Amino acid sequence: MFNIIDIENAFLAALETLKSEGVLTLESYAEKLGAEDVRRQVQRLPAVFVVWNGSRFETANRADYVTVSVSILVCDRSLRDEVDARRGAYGIMDRVREILHMRYLEGLGTAQCSREFILSAAKQIVVCAAEYEIKLVKTR
């Protein structure tokens, strides 16, 4: 029905334009999903990471309904920056939402933002997160 790596890659492809807009790191996130683990990436900021966050399964009327959840982690040195050249985490989160929310990802479905929040705000790094869901249906 779906492959987790393909799902992460579809999100990464959709966000590729961020590289030309000043994001230095755009990749899937393979570490633990704790704020301390993300802080280790401080040298390559701003950064956007994509990670599969789980799936929910329901079966009804000879069909499988799957809701796939993907987290987007936005890391930067501040929440907002007064310098026009740097947007800070808030600006990057806004841009991620512009790109992804209600966008059809080829072969998967439409990505919908379900939640945005601050994961960690420390002196040297701030980490914001957004959760996106795609609903898939497979008939049997």
| pLDDT, tens digit (0-9, with 9 covering 90-100), for 90-117 | 999 999 999 999 999 988 999 999 999 9
**pTM of the model as a whole:** 0.86
How many Å apart are CA 24 and CA 105, to the nearest integer?
23
Domain boundaries, the chain: 4-139
pLDDT of residue 84: 44
Kind of pairing between the strands at 47-60 and 25-28: parallel
In this structure, which topology does domain 4-139 adopt according to CATH? STM4215-like (3.30.2000)
pLDDT of residue 26: 94
**CB contact at 8 A, 74 and 48:** yes
| pLDDT, tens digit (0-9, with 9 covering 90-100), for 26-50 | 999 876 555 566 666 556 889 999 9
Backbone angles phi, psi at 132, to 5 degrees: -120, 145
Encoded amino acid at 54, one letter: G
Q: Which two tokens stand for residue 43?
A: 């040298």
